[in-house]
Structure 1
């Protein structure tokens, strides 16, 4: 494959993945290579390569001679992702509690993300809010200083973003409330009551995703 084709395949991959993660191509939607090729002004060959990559990632199911179907987020998969997030974030905070020297820096980083998230909520910018939501929770994991946990958590990023957009799109008025729930999580870390973090995180995720 030539460099030009590789570039086209990468662009097709990025565009299609973005359309799936943002819900512009919703779960169960059937679409063709030609639709993406037409948007990018490329042939179907690099789009086919992009579709294959996305099938490996579990976002598309390919149907010969018809195109691709967006794989929906199934209830069982969503619950699995939430359970994994709870376990990783709670473990990170417990480790942070064993390293009090790391707490001031952790609070500074979390408050910076929270400030940006509050601004996005006030502006009603859902896409930016969701991005900052993911950054807030990744920062929680990062503050614990466990590289293995952080690497694992990164594998959940695409599912997390897709689930957040799905959960928050119908309730844009709740964005400021969700930002304040994040502020409450930060307050728990600041208080030093690290055992209270896991149930508070669980309640937060329940309200956003399991309502």
Structure 2
């Protein structure tokens, strides 16, 4: 059992007391802290600290932590707290393999791309650019994920879309970690997304699929500790 780690700074943004139940507010507070890396893997969170931070009793804290444990973000230790689970090598492999299978298939299906899809993707690239300029890597990662999700959604396969949506939290957590560790990756990500969009605009399914493969392959190299 790891020793208690101090709560890292900065802390997650305060929960809004008007949003949902007390358990919902704790759930959103802790989950955002994990995804934004305010709570790193290996951090031990206590019910008392979270109750004070969100302004609730311990009962909804316990309920929220149980929910987060079922999602694979935490491991509960009775009478001690909840450990933020690090991203494992197997999880990285599983997420990237699934992404490649789903995204390469759906980007092919997106050709010829309707004007509405191209407009939404262009808007998301610009949104990423704005967040990058502001230094908000968490927001950039969320827009990054939305860019790929738009392409998946355009294929019209509801089963694939639900499968892809299940990867959302893991993608966000990995994406923020990569950008923090490799700041040069910000511009590369923007360039690679622009390349995918350009291939879709040109109606070239093979070029779009190749751009997706290259993009995910470079992400894999980074999270495994090699490449740029």
Equivalent in the alignment of 1:124:
135
Equivalent in the alignment of 1:68:
82
- How many residues are paired up? 204
Equivalent in the alignment of 2:147:
136
Output aligned runs, 1:28-177, within 5 Å.
28-97=42-111, 100=112, 102-177=113-188
Matched-pair contact (CA < 8 Å) for 1:167–1:209: no
Tell me the distance in 2 between the aligned counterparts of 1:149 and 1:204.
Answer: 20
**Which stretch of structure 1 is more off in the superposition, 42-51 or 144-153?**
144-153
Residue 90 of structure 1 deviates from its aligned partner by 1.2
State the SS of the aligned residue for 2:82. Answer: strand
CA RMSD of aligned residues (A): 1.8
Tell me the distance in 1 between the aligned counterparts of 2:60 and 2:37.
Answer: 22
State the SS of the aligned residue for 2:72. Answer: coil
Tell me the distance in 1 between the aligned counterparts of 2:30 and 2:165.
Answer: 20
Q: Which runs of 5+ in 2 are unaligned?
A: 1-17, 223-228
Equivalent in the alignment of 2:37:
23
Question: So what's the TM-score if we normalise by structure 1?
Answer: 0.89
| More helix, by proportion | 1
Question: So what's the TM-score if we normalise by structure 2?
Answer: 0.83
Matched-pair contact (CA < 8 Å) for 2:104–2:213: no
Q: Deviations over 1:158-177 (max 9, x none)?
A: 11100101111122343122
State the SS of the aligned residue for 1:83. Answer: helix
Tell me the distance in 2 between the aligned counterparts of 1:186 and 1:209.
Answer: 21
Matched-pair contact (CA < 8 Å) for 2:45–2:83: yes
**After the TM superposition, which segments of 4 or more aligned residues of structure 1 sit over 4 Å from their partners?**
none
